[in-house]
Structure 1
Amino acid sequence: MPEAVASPVIAELRERIARLEGTTGRARKVLPFGVSDIDRRLPGGGLALGSLHEVAGGGNGAVDGAAAALFAAGVTARTKGKVLWVVTRRDLFMPAIAQAGLHPDRLIHVEAGDEKALLACMEEGLRHGGLGAVVGETARLSMTASRRLQLAAEGSGTLGIALRRWRRQTEAADFGLPTASITRWRVSVLPSAPLPVPGLARARWLLELIRCRAGESADFEVEACDDKGRIALPSEVANGSPQKEIGRRIASA
């Protein structure tokens, strides 16, 4: 008799846990990168929509956040609708964001007074349901705050990106603490390919998938976002050994 009484409660708890883990029977919509080596590593074949994702820069990029911001801009450029981008520092460089595919006409730029206000703006934006994506540049992201953002994103189907930026390199250790985000990425700058004439080739990144719920971590050397927000594998990596090429690039850097 006690078992029968408890069953509905247990069933409800299991359903809530399944929703949090993204393991319910309904198909989750995804945003593919269009790069098979990356998409096949992600459950569903792409970046899960209606979910929270974390992005940070590697090395000095943990402070300046340039490569990570361009990666986030490229991802959100491929969504539909306006993009809410919340910051606490006035250093968002729109010409670079536009070159990564996110046109200024699609961007809603909000300057928050502090981290608490930034997280509140992110949550409101995710709950709104009428946006293509929400990006917030935050240094701290607790399990409680990330869970609220994840639930808000899940309820509306909006893509959420927590762009982790710190004021000092030592603060980047916070990136290792657990959160409720579905994936966690780190973007580091690599040397561009040499050209036969003076000039700079397309920028390259080391893209690290550090955490992926229901998936595995992986590293990719990619060419930076084009004006459509698309990344690509360099030809020598696509046709050769990515691990060997990534090691050579890091050593030369």
Structure 2
Amino acid sequence: MRESSYPLAGLRQRIARIAASGGFESRPAEGWLKSGHASFDDALGGGLAVGRCHEFFAADALDATSAAAFAALLALRTPGRAPLVWLRTSDAGKRSGHIYAPGIAELGGDPDRLLLVETPDAKMLLACANDAIRCAGSAAVIVESWGRFPLFDLTAGRRLALGARDAGTTLLMLRLNAAPAPSVAETRWSVAAAASHALEANAPGAPAFDLELLRWRGGAAGMRWRLDWNHDEQSFSPNAGDTALSGTLLSLPARRAMASHGAEAA
């Protein structure tokens, strides 16, 4: 995992050199970033659209680490060994923790694919994001921000979205300790930690995540999912311990109707 304590002026050139030295191919402008969970991917028409912007919000400030882990694991599922660019401000480690390369390897990912760039402030973060997203040699770009991000308005978001589309690079916006707001994202998600099921000898279970689809340009939102990470398959999979919750779809209106019915019954 390559790290930088300051933004790289030649970020686009560096990514291109990394891609060229490894014989990587540019990502296709169309396609799907699949989770590996068949029902989840099918419900989205194939997975998360490649070359589009997708937002991930932590359901609670305490879920910031889980949201970051989900975005990282999803990005690591991009095929091949093309670089994955992770952009964050220099104070991000103080707020949400530092990225731990051995931990990524333990989960089945390749930390050497990550190019970590830390910027001094949000302005430089957005500038680097605009450079990185237009690098056809990168497979995905993760932009991690904490709290309000006023510079990331509709105009800035549209510029990033167009860059992602033109380069065929998937943009994952990791919005921690922030409230969802209107944007040009293809999908918007709320991510929370889910209780994992212990393994033999009461060993810690696989990472598990509760997801809610808050917005989807291609269809209805309001779907909820429980996904577990499968280390051996290096993919997300149904919850083996509770199949009744795995891949369950429940529309937002249906959940509200159920809640209203429960309130009336009470």
Q: Identify the TM-score tier after normalising by the shorter chain.
A: 0.7 to 0.9
CA–CA distance in structure 1, aligned partners of residues 198 and 249 of structure 2: 20
Q: Is the 2:34–2:77 contact (alpha carbons within 8 Å) kept by the matching residues of 1?
A: no
State the SS of the aligned residue for 2:39. Answer: helix
Contact 1:74–1:225 (Cα < 8 Å) also in 2: no
Gaps of at least 5 residues in structure 1 are: 1-26, 167-171, 248-253
Where structure 2 has 5 or more consecutive residues not aligned to the other structure, the ranges are 1-28, 256-266
CA separation in 2, counterparts of 1:240 and 1:106?
33
Corresponding residue for residue 176 of structure 2: 165
1:76/1:102 contact within 8 Å kept? no
1:71 match: 70
- Structure 1 residue 239, shift from structure 2 partner: 5.2
User: After superposition, where does 1:12-51 map in structure 2 within 5 Å?
Assistant: 28-43=30-45, 45-51=46-52
When residues 133 and 195 of structure 1 are mapped into structure 2, their CA distance, relative to the original with a 3 A threshold, is: closer
The answer to whether the Cα contact below 8 Å between 2:139 and 2:169 also exists between their aligned partners in 1 is yes
- Corresponding residue pairs, total: 209
Q: Which runs of 4+ in 1 moved over 6 A?
A: none
The correspondence for 2:137, drawn from 130, 133, 142, is 130
How far apart are residue 96 of structure 1 and its match?
A: 2.9
What CA distance in whole angstroms lies between the structure 2 residues aligned with 1:193 and 1:125?
Answer: 38
CA deviation after TM superposition for structure 1 residue 126, in Å: 0.9
Q: Match for 1:182 among 186, 192, 195?
A: 186
User: Could you tell me the TM-score, scaled by structure 2's length?
Assistant: 0.71
Q: 2:224 corresponds to which residue? A: 219
The residue matched to 1:231 in structure 2 has which SS?
strand
Give 1:85's aligned residue: 86
Q: Kindly indicate which of the two structures has a greater share of residues assigned to helix.
A: 1
- Cα distance per residue 1:152-193 (max 9 Å; x no partner): 000000111111123xxxxx22x2x11001111121112222
State the Cα RMSD in Å: 2.4
Partner of 1:103: 110
The one-letter amino acid paired with 2:161 is Q
The verdict on how the C-alpha distance between 1:99 and 1:185 changes in structure 2, with shifts beyond 3 A counting, is farther
Question: Secondary structure at 1:97's aligned position in 2?
Answer: helix
1:56 offset after TM fit, Å?
2.0
Deviation at 1:228, TM superposition (A): 5.7
User: Percent identity of the aligned residues?
Assistant: 33
- Deviation by residue 1:189-243 (Cα, 9 ceiling, x = unmatched): 1222245633222232111121111122210111135366411111354356747
